[in-house]
Chain A
Amino acid sequence: MADPLLKITNLHAEVAEDGTEILRGVDLEMEAGKIHAIMGPNGSGKSTLSKVISGHPVYEVTDGDILFRGESIIDMEPDERARAGVFLAFQYPVEVPGVSIANFMRTALSAKRGEEVDVFDFHDELVEKMEMLGMEPVFAERSVNDGFSGGEKKRNEILQLAMLEPVLAVMDETDSGLDIDALQVVSAGINKIREQNSDMAVLLITHYQRMLNYIEPDVVHVMVGGRIVRSGGPELAHELEAKGYDWVKNEAGAEAELARI
């Protein structure tokens, strides 16, 4: 078997400022082109995992490692990780007043490719991706996320995903705050991007099973108390939906319980 695309071993991470430990030994392996879902109750550390993979400075890795394409990325800056092919779709996309989506994306693409992207080529590419996602071209001239609705923010994340063509897309609760129509649009967008880029692996972080109706995972993991306590096929998501998180919490046993107390 080839090397996994992403290999996380015994990952421990804490909030740098106050030393609160959140990840307590995460192990995870993903191959290129696969879809993994991480589900878990609030406070289980699943969003933190997505930020630690992307290199958010608020968190400090205290033990373990993250190998991306066989190389450790834990000492890399967020921008280096992104250029290596890691993308994080934010649960709460950040507003950047005064910076247009077009300018933002052209700067990002230029950084990724290591040369200034031609304005006209870029524009064609952007319009094409926006059409694919059912977005109006005027959207590109708006300031990034500034005054956007929840649905617009999430769609903007998907547009960036489409433009940057990462190797690994980490989707942090992309479904949160979306009604069912918006969820369908966003999910369809992700599926279209996968059609064009079948090697892209997706790590879907979600609290609910509903997004998995539109994007079918190959593997489902359950995270509780800062570690993955159970992994299985897509049926695991349905089981969770039916039985609730208390079921895995109990199954996770005394160790996880103790850790949370």
Chain B
Amino acid sequence: MADTLTTSSDTGVFTRDQVEMLSARKGEPEWLRQHRLEAYDRFAAAPMPTMREETWRYTDLGSALSFDAYEFAAETKPVTAIRDLPAVLVDEIEHADDYSGRMVQVDGSVVLRELSDELREKGVVFTSLDVAVQEHPELVRQYLGTALRPEEGEVSADTKFGDLNTAFASGGTFVYIPKGVRVEAPLRVWRTITRPGVAVFPRTVIVAEEEAEVSVVDQMVSADAEGGAFCAASTEIIGEELARVNYIPVQRWGNGTIHLSTDRVIARRDARVTSLHVTLGGALSRVDAQCRMEGPGSHVDLLGLYLAEGKQHIDHETLQDHLSPHAASNLLFKGALMDEGHGVFRGMIRVAPGAQRTNAYQTNRNLLLSNSARADSLPNLEIGADDVRCSHAATVGQLDKEEMFYLMSRGIPKEEATRLVVFGFFGEVLEQLELEGVRKDMYGLVERKLLRNRR
């Protein structure tokens, strides 16, 4: 493709030259450089989303995001001690005891990574994407871009930010679990952004081979700061036959940050993949999550939990793509919106003509905790097969007055009663998670945010 597709005003500091420089600095193989440049050209050719488009009707990204406002993250040196990490992470990492491996990304670089010798000997790879390109080039080449596929010729506002991530991906996480290997405790990843005005592009690739099992918890944490940062993230998950994958991204960026994430799952025959998107932070967050049921017997659970305060805007765009018969997908996204928070959910179940005996469900529920909060929910079905069980449901409701009176009549103050109701509301999502420790962490994060909001 030609360079002339781009003009600086469309892409700001995110220029084609920057892609070349990044790839050269990392000493990448030619195929990866090409992969980045192709993605870059699609990014540059794609229009910025506007609210005139159906998929962006309730999210005004154009007013919030200016590419000129950001700069690339500097490369950061590795650290050996947890206490040398940015303060916002230290306590949390020191107290997390339940893990098989841990990794920390500061701005654009992974600065710490650990994996037990036992798992390493079994062939497990858990490293930054940058290092994986050097140490396991064939694996990366095989899997990078398989779930987030370049859709040739079809650039749009919806493909723009996945491509942006591919073009500038830095740091990142590569997880490879060989056939039959079970990783019991989760792999834990923390990412942080150290100052406002920085743009980061974390790319996560998780591959679970036949009958492999793994859970990845991806915490994105930064301190509140004037100005905010920009994160264009992307995750690809490939679950091979009978694989079992749990993936829990937890977005807790400081206020002001814009977060755009393009996440793709492929589930092969009898694979089981569960993702839980937890969104608590940032000013504007949009997660575009799609799962493809590519093999019979595959089962994907897409779970989501979001809690907005202030003027936070949290948007989810989902697709459950049934390409194979006898597969199942179950989506449950629940959000509570305080203050002037705004939640948007737009979901689609698509069943291909040959995908008979599909079971697909989609539920989005919103709880408005203030009169100024708002939620828009648009569930959709597109069914090409005739022997399927599919349903969708969407609700937007307020706190139930009788429920609140009942709790208060037992002596529980209003704020605490609200907290109990919100916990109960999110419980339906969190109880589906098999990882007890992670579930407790999530209740804790929700509690912390509710308590902070009360002040």
Q: Does B405 contact A (CB under 8 A)?
A: yes
Interface residue? B421 (CB, 8 A): yes
B416 x A111 contact (CB < 8 A): yes
- Binding site of B, secondary structure by majority: helix, strand, loop or mixed? helix
- Let me know if B424 and A79 touch, CB within 8 A: no
Cβ–Cβ < 8 Å partners of B406 in chain A: 90, 93-94, 96
Shortest distance between the CB of A62 and any CB in chain B (Å)? 20
In the complex, the answer to whether B410 meets A94 with C-beta atoms within 8 Å is no
- Per-residue 0/1 for A118-139: is the Cβ within 8 Å of any B Cβ (1 yes, 0 no)? 0000000000000000000000
Q: Is B9 an interface residue (CB 8 A)?
A: no
The answer to whether A82 touches B411 (Cβ under 8 A) is yes
Q: CA–CA, A123 to B34, complex, Å?
A: 63
Are A78 and B405 in contact (CB-based, < 8 A)? yes
Interface contact tally, CB-CB below 8 A: 83
Q: Is the CB of B410 within 8 A of A57?
A: no
Interface size (B, Cβ < 8 Å)?
Answer: 25
In the complex, per-residue mask of A18-62: 1 if CB is within 8 Å of any chain B CB, else 0: 000000000000000000000000000000000000111110000
Interface: B394 (CB within 8 A) = no
Number of residues of chain A lying within 8 A (CB) of chain B? 31
- Residues of B close to A108: CB separation below 8 A: 407, 410-412
B403 within 8 A of partner (CB): yes
Tell whether, in the assembled complex, residue A79 and residue B421 are in contact, meaning their CB atoms are under 8 Å apart: no
**B residues near A77, Cβ cutoff 8 Å:** 408, 414
**Alpha-carbon separation in the docked complex, A23 to B358 (Å):** 57
Query: Using Cβ atoms and an 8 Å threshold, which residues of chain A touch B408?
Result: 77-79, 82
**Residue of A79, A82, A87 with highest tally of chain B CB at under 10 A:** A79
Q: Within the complex, what minimum Cβ distance (angstroms) separates A52 from chain B?
A: 12
Chain A residues within CB distance 8 Å of chain B: 54-58, 77-79, 81-83, 87-88, 90, 93-99, 103-105, 107-108, 111-112, 143, 160, 164
Residues of B within 8 A of A (CB): 400-403, 405-414, 416-417, 420-421, 423-428, 431
Q: Considering the complex of A and B, which 6 residue pairs feature the smallest CB-CB distances, nearest first? A: A98-B424, A98-B427, A82-B411, A94-B406, A108-B410, A99-B424
20 other A-B residue contacts (CB within 8 Å) besides A57-B405, A94-B400: A54-B405, A56-B405, A57-B401, A58-B401, A77-B408, A82-B408, A82-B410, A82-B411, A88-B409, A90-B409, A96-B420, A97-B425, A99-B421, A103-B420, A104-B410, A104-B420, A107-B416, A111-B412, A164-B410, A164-B411
